[in-house]
Every structure is written in structure tokens, then in C-alpha cells.
């Protein structure tokens, strides 16, 4: 309405008999604009308080995973539950809903991609989801997640599945209760998938997996028909401090800013952001496996450069962060695999690694190392899996989550079902629960379901974003061979990072790449890379599908 009033004012002559009416209209427009600005300021203040509380909770979670003494677990659970409840109560405040109602018409004066328009749109989506969930349930989920995580850090090394079964049962019950708050959906896990990947359903994920799986299975069969590449060069003794130092140095090459971030150790690597000026990553180290810390660090650095690249003006709002878990994973997988395991970047990085570990690597040719870190072999551990088998790990977990929430799989039968699927899909079997259904922290951090599919979506998008970047800047591969990542990082910052959550995942992909999400670039990438690594003929993967 303000826009229309301003338009009428410009069409009338000052000498018109309607001058008085024009003046009133202009004043009304000005008053309306001031009212909008006042409401936007109030909205930012309310959302900023919520963001601050969530950031404080994230700091406590980071501390719990890194430095908190063992005895602090129970208190930490209470503290986080309280903070999450308060944040949720503020998120569902009726006054916030009324404020959003009053701002719904902001698109009449501002474009869809304007920060304020996006803020109202995203805040509205978050509010409408939040009001369906009771604050007491949020508090219970948080308390359970803290208790389950503390128990998991002890139970996994001890191979103690029995200790975790009650936590798994509670996690399933809480996940079902949470999903039920969204009414009748086609699948009970749909609301959990939508939380991670806005607009997606279980059916969408299954369709994506069904299109991808045959290509992966065919190519994997061809790759594993040959003897795996020798990876003995990775399995020597590598002093842990030197591993951490080298991984951090490579993360800095990617664009990880240590004036706004840091690296620590935790049982399960992760990235967390308290603000664009404070982004933390963690890794885990094995003295007898060079790849563990190096590629965990590069993976988390990919998440971190995304968070650090969000436009500063979006800080302390719901727009400050990745637009979806899948888009976020696209960055961790792009920097870890396409760059970090890529032949071009290793041309630069491997000589530096040889200098860091001369006794272990000075006689190991670059080609041997490259083939070793891209070795194809079905294995038990998802985070250590090669790029061909990784998505099969994800599909197993997704199917098991669906079955748990559907009630077609009992928690007591999870380990047996896990081993059966691993034998069927990957031809391996875990002798321990630690390397079986206890290996991932995801099922022991609160909610079960809706997270794992994002890893495969991230893999697909990693290749699509990289393909778009190199199409615009063909020099990127040669620059990577010289250790220069600034052009690639700059393209990603401008087309992905800086927007935060301003656009939906599908909108962002379309804007950045000029196309809908497609498996074609990803399958073409796997085909080219692993045909060379495994000594297979070109196009062993078959015709990519979209």
C-alpha cells in the first residue's frame, strides 16, 4: 500500500486542486514506512535474543564435546534443556506471530531477495513449525540428547550396546512424538526430513536414492573386481600434533579464517557456529592412520568456510546459517573430496605433506598416495568410506531410521538388521557394535531420523556447484594445482555462502548453477575420477541420469 501511495504522489501537479489530498497520502506513506521500520527493528530484536540463547547453548554443546570434565554431564543436560526451552518459548511467543502478521505485506515495497523480505519469510516458516511443538517436548528432547551423548562417548569404546538400547528406545519415542505434532503426513518421518531439507519428503528421498543406487552398485562392482589400491603408506605412525598442524594449514588454504575460528579434538568431528566471527571445528586423530584426521579436518573446514562466508549483516538472525543440511554438506564434501582428494590440489599439497612426514612419505610417489586416499573398498565405517561406497552407507541408515519410526523394526533388533544390510549391500560384517550401529553419534544426540539423507544430497550438490564454478572460471583446476583456492572460494562465497538462508535450497541451486538439482554432474565426476583411480575404462558407470 505504501508503494501505491508514493506512486500517486508523483503523478499529481503541485497546482492541482487535490494538493491537500496528495500531502495526506504522502504523509500516510511516510508513516507507513516508519511503522514498517519500527516493526522490523522489533522483529530483529526478538529474533536476536533467540539467536543469542541458541548460541549460548551451542557453546555448551561444544564444550561438552571437547573440554568438559566427565562429571559435568548431568548438569550440562539440565543447562542445555533450560536454554532450549527458553529459546523455544520465545520462538512461539504470540507477540512474535502478530508481528510477523503485520509484516506480511513487506513484499509490496521490497523485492523477494531483499534481506528484510527474506527475514520475514524465513522467520514465518520457523514460527509456523515451532508453534506446533510444545516447549516441554523441546526441553525433554534436549535433556535426552545430552544424556545419550554422554553415555555414547563411553559406550562406543566399550562396545556396550546394552547400555545404549534404553536411550535408543527413548530417542525413537521422542522422534515419533515430535513428528506427530505436524499432523497426518504421508510418512511419519516427513516432518523430520523437511526440517533438514525444506520441501522434501521421505518419498522424494527414496526416489533420489532409487535413481542413484543402480549406478553406484554397477560401478562399485567394476571397481571391486580388481585388487584394491595399496594404502599401506597411510597406515604408518604419524605423530598426532603434526597431523593436526598440517590439516589446519590446509584448512587455511581453503579459506578457514583462524581469527574467526579454531580447531579442537572431539570423539566425533563436527562444526559449530556461534556467529560469523566465531566458528569452531573439531577432528579426531589416529596415530596410525593419516587419512583420519586430515580428511575429517578438511570436511569440517568445508562447513566452516560456509558459516564464515555468510554476509555479516545476516548475523544474529535466522538467516545466518546454511539454507539446508544438504547444501551445508555439499561444502564439506566439495572441499574434502573434490578438492582435498583431487589430483590437482594434491599436486601442490603432497610435497608439503612429504616435508611434514619425511620418514614416512619421502619414498612414496604422489601417484601412489593419490590412489591410496581414493582407494575403493567396502568398509564398515561411514566416515572412512570411499566416495563410491559412502552413499550406500547413507541409504542403509535412512532405511533403518524409517523402519524404526514406522515401528516395523524394534530397537532390540537394530543390530541384527544393521549387520544384515551391511552384508547385503556392502558384503562386510562388523564383529563389534562399536563399528556397527554404535558408530554414528546422530542417533544418540536427541532425535532419530531426518538427518542422514542430507549427506547424499550434499555429495550430489558438491559436484554441481563445482561444475558451475569451473564453467565460469576454467582456471580453477590449474589454480588448485598451485595451492590457490581463492577463485573457487570466492565463487562459492558469492553464489552460496553470503546468502545464508535467504533462499530455499532449490532456489539457491537454481540461482547458483542455472539448473535444478541433478545427479548428472556427480555421476560424471565419479566416473572420471574412479575410472582413472581404479584403472577402469571410461564411462564404466554407465549413462548418468538426472
CB-based burial, 221-242: b 16+ in 10 Å, e otherwise: ebbbeeeebebebbeeebeeee
Distance CA 68, CA 541 (A): 47
- pLDDT band with cut points at 50, 70 and 90 for residue 30: low
CATH for the stretch 196-534: 1.10.1370.30
Per-residue pLDDT at 67 exceeds 60: yes
Q: What is the pLDDT of residue 21?
A: 39
Q: What is the pTM of this model?
A: 0.89
Q: What cell numbers appear for 26 in the block?
A: 504522502
Residue-level pLDDT at 384: 86
Each residue's pLDDT tens digit, 500-535: 999 999 999 999 999 999 999 999 999 999 887 755
Question: Is 300 marked active-site?
Answer: yes
Confidence band for 109, pLDDT divided at 50, 70 and 90: low
pLDDT in tens, 50-61: 999 999 999 999
pLDDT of residue 545: 36
Q: Quick one: cell of 421?
A: 544390510
Written as one string, the DSSP assignment of 9-28 is HHHS-TTSTTHHHHHHHHHH
- At 95 the pLDDT is 97
- Mean pLDDT, the chain, rounded, equals 90
Span 401-436, pLDDT tens digits: 999 999 999 999 999 999 999 999 999 999 999 999
Are 292 and 286 contacting, i.e. CB atoms less than 8 angstroms apart?
yes
pLDDT, position 182: 96
Q: How far is CA 108 from the centre of its chain?
A: 33
Note the pLDDT tens digit of each residue in 488-502.
999 999 999 999 999
Q: Name the one residue in this structure whose C-alpha cell is 582407494.
A: 375
Q: What is the CB neighbour count within 10 angstroms for residue 298?
A: 25
Residue 222's pLDDT is what? Answer: 85
The residue-averaged pLDDT of 141-157 equals 93
Q: What is the pLDDT of residue 31?
A: 59
Bridge partners, residue 282, by sequence: 264
Provide the pLDDT for residue 530.
Answer: 87
DSSP assignment of 338-356 equals IITTSHHHHHHHHHHHHHH
What phi, psi does 75 have (nearest 5°)? -65, -40
- pLDDT band at residue 224 using 50, 70 and 90 as cut-offs: confident
User: What is the structure's pLDDT at 107?
Assistant: 58
Q: What radius of gyration do the chain's Cα atoms show?
A: 25
**Model pLDDT, residue 315:** 97
Q: By percentage, how much of the chain surpasses pLDDT 70?
A: 91
- pLDDT value at residue 104: 85
What is the pLDDT at residue 174?
97
Q: Contact 381/434 with Cβ under 8 angstroms?
A: no
Which of 139, 197, 292, 300 does the annotation list as catalytic? 300
Q: What is the pLDDT, as a whole number, of residue 2?
A: 40
For residue range 252-311, list pLDDT tens digits in order: 999 999 999 999 999 989 999 999 999 999 999 999 999 999 999 999 999 999 999 999
Confirm if 104 and 120 have CB atoms less than 8 A apart: yes
**Cβ atoms within 10 Å of 68's Cβ, excluding its own:** 16
pLDDT of 226-238, one tens digit each? 888 899 999 999 9
Does 22 score more than 50 pLDDT?
A: no
Name every residue whose Cβ is closer than 8 Å to that of residue 238 and which is 6 or more positions away in sequence. Answer: 287, 288, 289, 290, 357, 360
Going by pLDDT thresholds of 50, 70 and 90, the confidence category of residue 544 is very low
Task: Report the C-alpha gap between 317 and 191 in whole angstroms.
Answer: 23
- Structure-model confidence comparison of residues 312 and 13, the more confident one: 312
Domain boundaries, the chain: 2-131, 196-534
CB 160 within 8 A of CB 151: no
Q: How far apart are CA 230 and CA 234, in angstroms?
A: 9
Amino acid at each position: 500500500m505504501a508503494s501505491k501511495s508514493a506512486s500517486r504522489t508523483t503523478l499529481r501537479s503541485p497546482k492541482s486542486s487535490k494538493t491537500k489530498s496528495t500531502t495526506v497520502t504522502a504523509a500516510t506513506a511516510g508513516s507507513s514506512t516508519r511503522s514498517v521500520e519500527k516493526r522490523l527493528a522489533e522483529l530483529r530484536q526478538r529474533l536476536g535474543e533467540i539467536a543469542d540463547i541458541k548460541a549460548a547453548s551451542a557453546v555448551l554443546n561444544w564444550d561438552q564435546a571437547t573440554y568438559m570434565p566427565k562429571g559435568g554431564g548431568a548438569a550440562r543436560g539440565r543447562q542445555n534443556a533450560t536454554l532450549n526451552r527458553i529459546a523455544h518459548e520465545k520462538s512461539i511467543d504470540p507477540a512474535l506471530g502478530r508481528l510477523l502478521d503485520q509484516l506480511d505485506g513487506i513484499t509490496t515495497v521490497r523485492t523477494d531477495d531483499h534481506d528484510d523480505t527474506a527475514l520475514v519469510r524465513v522467520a514465518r516458516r520457523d514460527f509456523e513449525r515451532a508453534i506446533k511443538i510444545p516447549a516441554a517436548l523441546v526441553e525433554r528432547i534436549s535433556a535426552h540428547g545430552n544424556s545419550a551423548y554422554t553415555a555414547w562417548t563411553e559406550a562406543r569404546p566399550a562396545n556396550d550396546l546394552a547400555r545404549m538400547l534404553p536411550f535408543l528406545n527413548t530417542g525413537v519415542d521422542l522422534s515419533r512424538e515430535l513428528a506427530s505434532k505436524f499432523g497426518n503426513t504421508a510418512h511419519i518421518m516427513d516432518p523430520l526430513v523437511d526440517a533438514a531439507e525444506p520441501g522434501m519428503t521421505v518419498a522424494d528421498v527414496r526416489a533420489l536414492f532409487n535413481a542413484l543406487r543402480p549406478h553406484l552398485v554397477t560401478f562399485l562392482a567394476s571397481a571391486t573386481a580388481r585388487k584394491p589400491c595399496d594404502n599401506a603408506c597411510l597406515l604408518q605412525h604419524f605423530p598426532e600434533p603434526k597431523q593436526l598442524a598440517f590439516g589446519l594449514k590446509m584448512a587455511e588454504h581453503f579459506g578457514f579464517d583462524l581469527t574467526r575460528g579454531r580447531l579442537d579434538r572431539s570423539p566425533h568431528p563436527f562444526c559449530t557456529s556461534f556467529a560469523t566471527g566465531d566458528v569452531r571445528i573439531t577432528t579426531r586423530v589416529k596415530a596410525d592412520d593419516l587419512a583420519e584426521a586430515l580428511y575429517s579436518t578438511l570436511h569440517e573446514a568445508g562447513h566452516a568456510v560456509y558459516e564464515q562466508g555468510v554476509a555479516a549483516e545476516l548475523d544474529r538472525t535466522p538467516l545466518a546459517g546454511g539454507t539446508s543440511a544438504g547444501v551445508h554438506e555439499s561444502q564439506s564434501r566439495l572441499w574434502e573430496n573434490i578438492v582435498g582428494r583431487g589430483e590437482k590440489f594434491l599436486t601442490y599439497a603432497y610435497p608439503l605433506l612429504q616435508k611434514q612426514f619425511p620418514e614416512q612419505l619421502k619414498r612414496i610417489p604422489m601417484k601412489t598416495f593419490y590412489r591410496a586416499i581414493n582407494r575403493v573398498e567396502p568398509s564398515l565405517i561411514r566416515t572412512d568410506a570411499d566416495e563410491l561406497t559412502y552413499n550406500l552407507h547413507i541409504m542403509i541408515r535412512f532405511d533403518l531410521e524409517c523402519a524404526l519410526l514406522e515401528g516395523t523394526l524394534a530397537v532390540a533388533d537394530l543390530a541384527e538388521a544393521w549387520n544384515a544390510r551391511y552384508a547385503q549391500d556392502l558384503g562386510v560384517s562388523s564383529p563389534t557394535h562399536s563399528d556397527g550401529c554404535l558408530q554414528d553419534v546422530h542417533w544418540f544426540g536427541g532425535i532419530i531420523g531426518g538427518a542422514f539423507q542430507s549427506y547424499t544430497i550434499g555429495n550430489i550438490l558438491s559436484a554441481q556447484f563445482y561444475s558451475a564454478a569451473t564453467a565460469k572460471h576454467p582456471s580453477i583446476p590449474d589454480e588448485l594445482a598451485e595451492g590457490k583456492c581463492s577463485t573457487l572460494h570466492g565463487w562459492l562465497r558469492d553464489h552460496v555462502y553470503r546468502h545464508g538462508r535467504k533462499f530455499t535450497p532449490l532456489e539457491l541451486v537454481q540461482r547458483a548453477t542455472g539448473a535444478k538439482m541433478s545427479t548428472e554432474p556427480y555421476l560424471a565426476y565419479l566416473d572420471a575420477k574412479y575410472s582413472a583411480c581404479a584403472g577402469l575404462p571410461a564411462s564404466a558407470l554407465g549413462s548418468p541420469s538426472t
